[in-house]
Amino acid sequence: MSYTAGFAVMEVTVRGVLPIGDMTENETYFILDTAKNAIVGQVVLPKAVKRSLAVALTVKVPSTARSLAIGTFGDGGNFEAASFLRVETPVVGHPGGAVGPSGR
């Protein structure tokens, strides 16, 4: 069964430019709903890359998630936001056309 089965989801985009360096291992970055203090998603990315590399990843999170941040958890268990990554939520537009009764 899929993680999203039975849940309303929305797609968010994780964007940023990875740090340049010699570290070759990967790091798990957690997407946190800061209003609920709950982990709602995750991505695994390199800790560093040899040359500039921009990323744009689509991640499904619960549609009830509101205030999102991305980062890691430090040794003390505290959430540390990643300064080089951001989470973009979809913009909900207004429907086109007539929306209500006319003033005639």
Distance between CA atoms of 12 and 68, rounded to whole angstroms?
A: 10
* CATH code for the structural domain at 9-88: 2.60.40
| Antiparallel, parallel or unpaired: β 54-62 and 9-17 | antiparallel
Domain limits of the chain? 9-88
Greater pLDDT, 90 or 40? 40
> pLDDT band for position 4 (50/70/90)?
very low
CB 21 within 8 A of CB 47: yes
- The pLDDT score that the predictor gives to residue 59 is 95
CA distances from 20 to 27, 31, 84, 85 (A): 14, 22, 11, 14
Q: What is the pTM of this model?
A: 0.78
pLDDT digits (tens, 9 = 90+) for 32-72: 999 999 999 999 999 999 999 999 999 999 988 889 999 99
